[in-house]
């Protein structure tokens, strides 16, 4: 009888830029206030990077490899989740592959590619890694989620500039005889893809392209879709909300997530958040939450973790994970 293959996370790492941009800093640039931002979003500060995605992504991946006690040559694949790639091509993942093997006499040429699914990208990358591992074709994947949203943020638009920050996170996902990842639920409504967008060749803003968002509509969609995907995945995997030990949700707006907790009847103490410190970092948001929850002792062996995300597309997704 063939043994069932599963996947699990055996290491993680993050890159957190040093430079802090506070609400008060922003209030000096646009007509806003610390009070408005905190009350309407829950964000107090965010990070601004002076590095590009390949550099900060490679730092996060090196830390994740170290925490898994592995070397770059142990990776069979690198998947990079990003929305802010500096070039249309080559893939950020290819540059990360080269950076983590700089100086190696015999570098390994594992597959390396990018995916782009807005703020849902990190969870989608985990799902792809899980599918490859389960199929039996490979054993170990480095998932990197990296974004530098401040580089495409319009700092004269108060409705978006208060929201975003820069960050990278990485996970090492490997084959396991028990889950690990139990289930995924993914979805997209392309009819409303215009709600969050960034044109590449736009000359609207003096040749620079900025992120644009219909905040109110995204707000409503975010609650609706994250609630639906959370219910779907539990039904699919035959669990109930009372089984969940840790709830992770995309960090975009604390009011969205508080609304979700109420609708799903999940107690506040099962929810981990770092939105206050980092703002919305897009693809790394979920991975950074998981990493910090573990570091802070809020994720234990045997815990069942429900994660939900939403992003441009409009895309959404959920995962159910058993911590081993
Ligand atoms: O990562 C992808 C997912 N993204 C999200 O989930 C973001 C979802 N959207 C949101 O988080 C919220 O819609 C925002 C934070 C973007 C906006 O909050 P809101 O409570 O929906 O505000 P609003 O757009 O309804 O605007 C209310 C008022 C407006 O003024 P008037 O028209 O009532 O005079 C805005 O001009 O607040 C004003 N406003 C601000 N005031 C001070 C908007 N941004 C600001 C600001 N400071 N930064």
pLDDT tens digits for range 77-109: 999 999 999 999 999 999 999 999 999 999 999
> Is 280 annotated as catalytic?
yes
155 lines ligand 1 (CB under 6 A): no
| pLDDT on residue 205 | 52
256 lines ligand 1 (CB under 6 A): yes
Distance from Cα 163 to the centre of ligand 1, integer Å: 10
| pLDDT on residue 221 | 98
Distance from Cα 281 to the centre of ligand 1, integer Å: 17
Catalytic residue among 23, 83, 130, 280: 280
| pLDDT on residue 126 | 99
Task: Write out pLDDT tens, residues 129-153.
Answer: 999 999 999 999 999 999 999 999 9
The angle at the Cα of 253, spanning 125 to 157, to the nearest 5 degrees, equals 100
**Per-residue pLDDT band at 209 (split at 50, 70, 90):** confident
| pLDDT on residue 199 | 87
- Exposed e or buried b for every residue in 234-270, given b needs 16+ CB within 10 A? beebebeeeebebbbbbbbbbebbbbbeeebebeeeb
Is residue 296 within 8 A of residue 162, CB to CB? The reply is no
Domain ranges in the chain with CATH number 3.40.47.10: 6-176, 181-322
The angle at the Cα of 230, spanning 226 to 232, to the nearest 5 degrees, equals 115
Task: Write out pLDDT tens, residues 106-134.
Answer: 999 999 999 999 999 999 999 999 999 99
Q: Which protein residue has the closest C-alpha to ligand 1 atom 17?
A: 215
Q: Which protein residue has the closest C-alpha to ligand 1 atom 29?
A: 159
* Mean of the per-residue pLDDT values of the chain: 96
| pLDDT on residue 215 | 97
Intra-chain end-to-end CA distance of the chain, in Å: 24
**Per-residue pLDDT band at 203 (split at 50, 70, 90):** low
| pLDDT on residue 66 | 98
Task: Write out pLDDT tens, residues 18-74.
Answer: 999 999 999 999 999 999 999 999 999 999 999 999 999 999 999 999 999 999 999
Judge: domain 6-176, CATH 3.10.580.10. Answer: no
123 lines ligand 1 (CB under 6 A): no
Distance from Cα 215 to the centre of ligand 1, integer Å: 6
212 lines ligand 1 (CB under 6 A): no
> Is 238 annotated as catalytic?
no
- Exposed e or buried b for every residue in 127-139, given b needs 16+ CB within 10 A? bbbbebbbeeebb
Distance (Å, whole) CA 305 – CA 65: 22
176 lines ligand 1 (CB under 6 A): no
Catalytic residue among 23, 53, 80, 119: 119
Judge: domain 181-322, CATH 3.40.47.10. Answer: yes
252 lines ligand 1 (CB under 6 A): yes
251 lines ligand 1 (CB under 6 A): no
How many other CB atoms are found less than 10 A from the CB of residue 296?
10
- Of ligand 1's listed atoms, the one at least distance from the Cα of 119 is 1
């Amino acid at each position: 009888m063939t043994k069932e293959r599963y996947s699990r996370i055996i290491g993680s790492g993050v890159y957190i830029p040093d430079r802090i941009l506070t609400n008060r800093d922003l209030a000096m640039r646009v007509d806003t206030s610390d009070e408005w931002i905190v009350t309407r979003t829950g964000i107090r500060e965010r990070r601004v990077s002076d590095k590009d995605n390949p550099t900060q992504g490679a730092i996060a991946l090196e830390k994740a490899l170290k925490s898994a006690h592995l070397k770059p040559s142990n990776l069979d694949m690198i998947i990079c989740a990003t929305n802010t790639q500096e070039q249309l091509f080559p893939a950020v993942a290819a540059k990360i592959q080269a950076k983590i093997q700089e100086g190696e006499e015999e570098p390994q040429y594992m597959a390396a590619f990018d995916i782009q699914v807005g703020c849902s990208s990190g969870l989608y990358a985990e799902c792809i890694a899980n599918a490859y591992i389960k199929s039996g074709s490979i054993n170990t994947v480095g998932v990197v989620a990296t974004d530098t949203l401040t580089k495409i943020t319009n700092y004269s638009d108060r409705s978006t500039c208060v929201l975003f920050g820069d960050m990278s996170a990485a996970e090492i996902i490997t084959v396991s005889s028990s889950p690990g990842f139990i289930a995924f639920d993914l979805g997209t409504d392309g009819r409303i893809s215009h709600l969050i967008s960034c044109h590449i060749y736009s000359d609207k803003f003096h040749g620079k392209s900025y992120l644009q968002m219909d905040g109110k509509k995204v707000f409503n969609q975010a609650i609706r879709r994250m609630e639906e995907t959370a219910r779907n995945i539990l039904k699919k995997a035959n669990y109930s909300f009372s089984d969940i030990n840790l709830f992770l949700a995309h960090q975009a707006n604390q009011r969205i997530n508080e609304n979700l907790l109420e609708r799903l009847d999940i107690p506040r103490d099962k929810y981990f958040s770092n939105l206050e410190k980092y703002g919305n970092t897009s693809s790394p948001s979920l991975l950074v939450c998981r990493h910090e929850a573990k570091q802070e002792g809020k994720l234990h062996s045997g815990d069942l973790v429900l994660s939900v995300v939403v992003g441009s597309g409009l895309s959404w997704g959920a995962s159910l994970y058993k911590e081993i």
